[in-house]
Every structure is written in C-alpha cells, then in structure tokens.
A and B are shown apart, each in its own frame.
Chain A
Amino acid sequence: MTLRAMWKGTICLGEHNVPVKLYAAVEDRDVRLHLLHGRDHARVRQRMVHPETEKPVAAEQIERAYETEPGVFVRVEQAELDALVPKPSRRIEITHFVPHDAIEHPWFERPYYLAPDGDPARYAALVQALEHRHRIGVAHWVMRKRYYSGALHGRQGTLRLFTLRKLEEVVDLTELPSPPGRALDPRELSLAEKLVETLSGAFDPASFKDEHRQRLLELIEQKRKGGKIKQPRAPRKAAPESLSGALQASLKQLMKEDRHAPS
C-alpha cells in the first residue's frame, strides 16, 4: 500500500520553485499498552477532577490557563490562541546553505522524505546540485499551525527534510569546555588508536535490533497462546585496574579472537 503524503509544499529558492510532497520517515514501532479496568477489562476513561472534592468538572466549565511562573496562571480563550497561530502557507523558504557537516547533531529533530509533486526535472536538478556541492539548505515553513525550521538534504537522488530544534533549546557544543588534565602518554595513545582501529567496521544499522521490543512481542504472543517465557541473563564483565593494563589486555584479547570485523 502506498503511503499518503502528510503535507504538500513548494521549495522556494530564489527564482526556483520545486513542488514537493512530504512523508514521515519514521515509523513508530513501540509496543503500546492500554490501561484497562481490572474488573471488566474495558478501557478506562480520563476525567479532570477538582483535587479537593475529587469530583469531575464538566468540560464546558474547564478553564485553560498558562502557568507563566509557579502559582501564576493566565487564562486564555481559544480565540486568543488562534490569533497567535502562524498564517498557513505552502512555501518552504530556503534562506542559506552550509557545508554538509556544519549542523551539529543535537539540532536534529525529526526526518521527512520529500518527493517531487509534478515537476520531477526541477526536483532532480535540486538534489543533484545539493549532492554535487555537499551542502545542506536551511529551510523554514509553516505546517499544521506551527513554524518549522529544517535542514534540506540530498542523498542518492532523494531529498530529505530534517526538522531542527529551536535555538533556545539546544546546547551549543562548541561552547563546552574540554575536560582538563595532564598531557596524554604517547604510548597509551598509540595503544588506544590500535584498539579503536581493531574495533572499526562498517555501520550496518540493520544489525542492531530492539530486543526489548522483541521480548515484549514474544511475551504477548506466548500469553495469547497461553504460555510463559523465561529471559536469559546477560553475562557480566570485569575490568583490570590501570588504563595501560586495560588497553594492553584488550588488544591481546582482540588479537587472540582474530577478529577482522566487529561481532
């Protein structure tokens, strides 16, 4: 079944307009459980109650308020909130471009795929230009009543748009002080380098599985059929005292195992 686009927009870059369709790149796989009433196994309802009387308050009587500081509430009406919502638009404005490694990872929020929407030639030209120049575009748009900023990325002929977090929310990694300490021992450095090299390999994301999720699903399946399962315990590991000792022992162990690739 083909996935339907979440949203449609137009990338605006100078005189160029590239219409696109947006798709979520993430699929939620979490095992969702529901809260049920123990008595009849029916789903429970939630209600808002007055904490002193424990009595539910009718929906039309509930006031909404923002807590601007502890203990201070400012009531708002829906009309006020509606007035603050950005004007709808289909424009994805590209303001500037940066080198492909210029956006540090804490900025990244959520990935989306972009597909061409009626002008595949322009779309193809944009991806090619981005990949050729190894650049990322910085984009701004309005979607579902919210302002978004994002990174426009080209990879293997496809455009991706990664939403970026807000300035006020992100730690600037370049502002962090590096831990102080005495100069590193060149021999230990050399050992560490060898160790890291020995453990180097290719990144194959598919080789890592969410085992917790698997166990949950197996548990559910077993219960559905009427059985039970036991969990194997992970082995523990002891480490030697000194850093040099640990480096040496690690290398020895790895050489013995004769690994050419990580397990």
Chain B
Amino acid sequence: MPRADNDEATATAEDQDEAAAATPRPFWSGTLSFGLVSIPVSLFPASRRLSVPLRMLAPDGTPLARRYYGADDDKPLGEDDLVRGYELDDGSYVLLSDEELEAADPEKSRDIDLRLFVPVAEVDPIYFERGYVLASSAESTKAYRLLAKVMEDQGQCGIATFVMRESEYLIAIFAGHGVLHAQTLRFADEVRPVRSLELPEPQQASASLVKSFVQAIDRRTKKQLDTRELRDVQLAALREHLEHKRKQGMDVIHTEQSDSGAGPHAEIIDLMEVLKRSLRGEQVEAERPARSHRARSRNPKRPAKTRPSPHERARPQPRKRRAGRAGGGTEH
C-alpha cells in the first residue's frame, strides 16, 4: 500500500516553511522573559532553504495537483473523508480526532521563559536544530540590550522551552555583538548516545603520529571559516543548465497560473534586509501561521499535502481550521 504521509521525497519540514512565506517575516512574536522581566521580541529564521521548485506537469503543460484517493475509488477524497491514525505494531490503527489532538497540544503561549543560564561552551552543537535571530519589538530596546550585554559578558546562553505554532521546542538564546540569536535544540532522546554505536574503545595514539597530525592541522589553520567553500555549487549548476535551456527556448512552458509567488525564490538578501530593519527598530508584522504539512507530532492535526503548496496548483479546498506550523523541525 502506498504511504500517504511520507510520499513527498523532496519537501522537508523546513522546505515547506520556506515555501509558505512569501516574504521573510517573523515566524513568531512574543516575549522573552527572565525572572519577571519581559522583553517583547520577534523571531526570524537565521537561514533559508534555497532551491528551484520542481513541478509535475500534464502533457499540455498545466501544473498538476495532488489529490487523495481511497483504495478502490477513482473519485478524489475531500477533507471530510479523511481521518488520522497511528499505526500499531500489528498493523491496525488508533484513530485520532482533531479534538483529541488539540487536547494534546501544548498550551498556547507567547513567552520564552529563560529559567536557566548555562555557559555557552556547554551546549554541544550536536543538539543544534535550527537558527533564529531575535529582534526587539518593543518601543524601548533597553531590556533587550541589557540581557544581550549580560549574557555576552558572562559567556552564558539562556535555555527555555516554548511553544511555536502548536509545537513545543527547546531553545537556547545566545548573544553576540549586541544581538540576541537562538538555536532550537533537539531533545536529549533524539540524539543517539555515542555508546549506542558500540564503537571500540578509543585507542591511545603514538605521540609521533599525533604530532604529525598536529602539524598538518597547524599548517592549514585559518582564523575564520572560509565561507566561499560553502557555495551551493550543485544549485548553481542546475540554475545554469536551466537558464541555458530557457535562453535557447528549449522545453520552456509559460503559463498564467502560478502560486509560487516569491517564496522559493526569496534570496537570503531579503531576509537580511528585514532583519536589519527589525533590529534598527522598524516594526515588521508577524507571519500568518502557515498551513498544513506532514501529519506528525510536530503538527499531527492537518492532513499532509492537502494544502495548495507553491509546488502545485490546486483548486482551493474547503478547510475547517488553519493549524499552525512548526518553524523548526526534524530535517530529512
């Protein structure tokens, strides 16, 4: 039986987020608090996935849409025909209604409550999930700057759990150059302990071999990361190939319809612009919660892929409720 929820090999949780945002806007607005101090903030992503959207077309060039079908039917199913279920070991399902799933939702909160500060060096990058930048959304930036200065001076970061788009996240708030930024963290049980790999005991290496490696390291040490090496050569090659075809008029189709908007084509430059403006004190509106995506604990209520994504042109379907969408999530 074909699987319904993981059909889309291409789109990850992050991809769908990027696709949903027409222009870079804060993912979340709320307060950052420590003790009884409340700092109104907006949360922006610190990275965007870039890609060229791949679409399925009919022979006449019309972009296709996705529909769900039952086992025997040839009629597409509407939302009312669908239920969500959790598969048990024996292959049977436990059905879960929207109401039941909602009851399990985290309490809606607009607060990141920092109850713990830890030395920055103690947070192992193995927990890093996704990066964000925080801008102050208050009239006065005093509290924001105060927290940033203290954390930076003390070499500390703040740890909290918070709710963003109906999912609960563990987050670490950092300060650097007067700016607050953050990283959502994986929960401990999502990271495999090294011992689970059953690796052989680490060996003691010979001093001369270690010395040889140290020399090799020292010879190649630079003060900063050479980011030119991180250019997306694969995407550049694809774009070049497509541009060549387009210029030659090879296999090119023009259509009126497209709901891709600026989403997948939004460059990181736009995001930087919005971030700079926000940090300078201009107000930016929070994004409307993006629509559904894969049915999983990060957002289990919405059926996967019944929403019209920029990757397809779908007929608008009646929708009972808009569910929020996790800003970060497990990546593929």
Contacts and interface: CB of A to CB of B under 8 A. Distances in A.
B166 to A, nearest CB: 9
B115 A263 contact: yes
A113 B124 CA distance: 13
Interface in B94-152: 94-96, 100-101, 103-107, 109, 111, 113-119, 121-128, 131, 133, 135-136, 140-151
Contacts of A115: 197, 199
Interface in A217-236: 219-220, 223-224, 228-231, 233-234
B231 A66 contact: no
Contacts of B9: none
Given A43-B2, A239-B37, A96 B280 contact: no
A216 B34 CA distance: 29
Nearest to B49: A169
B47 A26 contact: no
Q: Which of A45, A71, A111, A219 has the most CB of B within 10 A?
A: A45
A216 B67 CA distance: 27
Give the interface size class of chain B.
Answer: 35 or more
Interface in A171-201: 171-182, 184, 188-189, 192-193, 195-197, 199-201
Contact of B63 (A73, A165, A210): A73
Interface in B218-243: 218-235, 237-239, 241-243
A207 to B, nearest CB: 8
A249 B133 CA distance: 28
A190 to B, nearest CB: 10
B254 interface: yes
Given A47-B66, A192-B37, 20 more contacts: A13-B213, A34-B93, A35-B304, A62-B58, A65-B55, A70-B260, A73-B61, A75-B57, A98-B224, A133-B218, A138-B229, A170-B46, A180-B281, A210-B190, A220-B86, A237-B113, A246-B35, A249-B36, A251-B35, A253-B35
Contacts, number: 585
A49 B271 contact: no
A37 B71 contact: yes
A71 B254 contact: yes
B34 A35 contact: no
B64 A124 contact: no
Name the prevailing secondary structure of the B interface residues. mixed
A247 interface: yes
Given A31-B296, A125-B213, A196 B254 contact: no
A166 B64 CA distance: 30
Contacts of A130: 213, 217
The 10 closest A-B pairs by CB, nearest first: A250-B35, A178-B178, A106-B131, A157-B202, A129-B213, A125-B205, A31-B297, A75-B251, A106-B46, A124-B205
Contact of B226 (A127, A138, A146): A138
Contacts of B300: 31, 33, 216
Nearest to A165: B47
Given A94-B220, A246-B38, A176 B275 contact: yes
Contacts of B217: 13, 97, 129-130, 133, 135, 137
B145 A181 contact: yes
Contacts of B212: 16, 125
B309 interface: no
B230 A166 contact: yes
A176 to B, nearest CB: 5
Given A31-B86, A51-B313, A220-B94, A166 B52 contact: no
A26 B46 contact: no
A86 B281 CA distance: 44
Contact of B190 (A14, A28, A120, A173): A28
B83 A63 contact: no
Nearest to A157: B202
Contact of A73 (B57, B106, B122, B234): B57
Contact of B84 (A35, A94, A140, A195): A35
